[in-house]
Amino acid sequence: QLEEQFILRVLPEMAAHFSKLVAERRIQDHLEIKFRDERNAVVKFEGNLFVAKLVDMPTITESYRTVDKKQLLKTADVCQILVIERQITEAEIDQTPLARGLDIIYPDGLAPPLANVRKNRFRPRISKGKIDAIEQEVLRLLEDDAQAMAVKFDIYDEQGE
Could you list the residue range(s) of the whole structural domain that residue 103 is in? 7-123
- For residue range 132-142, list pLDDT tens digits in order: 999 999 999 99
| Residue 138 lies inside a defined structural domain of this protein | no
For residue 3, is pLDDT > 80? no
| Residue 42 lies inside a defined structural domain of this protein | yes
Q: Give the CA angle between residues 102, 12, 101 to the nearest 5°.
A: 5
Band (130; pLDDT cuts 50, 70, 90): very high
**Of 98, 104, 87, whose CA–CA distance to 44 is shortest?**
87
| Residue 131 lies inside a defined structural domain of this protein | no
| Residue 19 lies inside a defined structural domain of this protein | yes
| Residue 36 lies inside a defined structural domain of this protein | yes
Alpha helices in 10-157 (DSSP H): 12-23, 117-121, 128-147
| Residue 156 lies inside a defined structural domain of this protein | no
pLDDT at site 133? 95
| Residue 135 lies inside a defined structural domain of this protein | no
| Residue 142 lies inside a defined structural domain of this protein | no
Domain count, the chain: 1
